[in-house]
Amino acid sequence: MSDVVAQQATEQEPEIDLSIADAVIDKYIDIPGNLMPVLQGVQDEYGYVPRIVADHIAERLNVYPSQIYGVLTFYAQFHLKPRGRFIIRVCVGTACHVQGATRIVETFFDKLHIGHAETTADLRYTFEKVACLGACGMAPLAMVNDSTYGGMTVQKVDEIVADYNQRPLK
């Protein structure tokens, strides 16, 4: 990697320990079709796929970086930026929309001071509007990580934020 690329990577991201990525790559190095499990493993370790790690994977697997980025940008499961410890998703599908999801979304925006697909500076929260969470009978619906909150109200938003503000980041 050129000095310019390394400098740009370090300016945009905190220092990254590539030995973590190497451990994941080594686990799959001799397996055909190893790109997806390597990317999934790296994301599990770092919480996202740092650009310097994506470039390192390309080098180690002897593939073009464009192949790596093609996969990373095609699949919604992959993230190129750090995400919050608590991922808040609010359904904005038809049933939730009719039941007031827009107000729930706006209340989360106001409470967290972030918008859709944004993360708080302290990496506590990432907020996402989603098309459907598959529980229309509980509309409007929100999730925080794997916990589901149905029949959402503005008051419940306050309670959820207060609860998760008390939880440790790690």
What pLDDT sits at residue 13? 57
Going along the chain from its start, the domains and CATH numbers come out as 3-74 (no CATH), 86-165 (3.40.30.10)
Mean pLDDT of 159-165: 97
Phi, psi of 153 (to 5 degrees): -135, 170
Rounded Cα–Cα distance for residues 65 and 55 (Å): 6
Give per-residue pLDDT as tens, 11-70: 455 688 999 999 999 999 999 999 999 999 999 999 899 999 999 999 999 999 999 999
Tokens matching residue 6: 């390394």
Output helix, strand, coil percentages for the chain, rounded to the nearest 5: 50, 10, 40
pLDDT band with cut points at 50, 70 and 90 for residue 89 = very high
Cβ proximity of 143 and 88 under 8 Å: yes
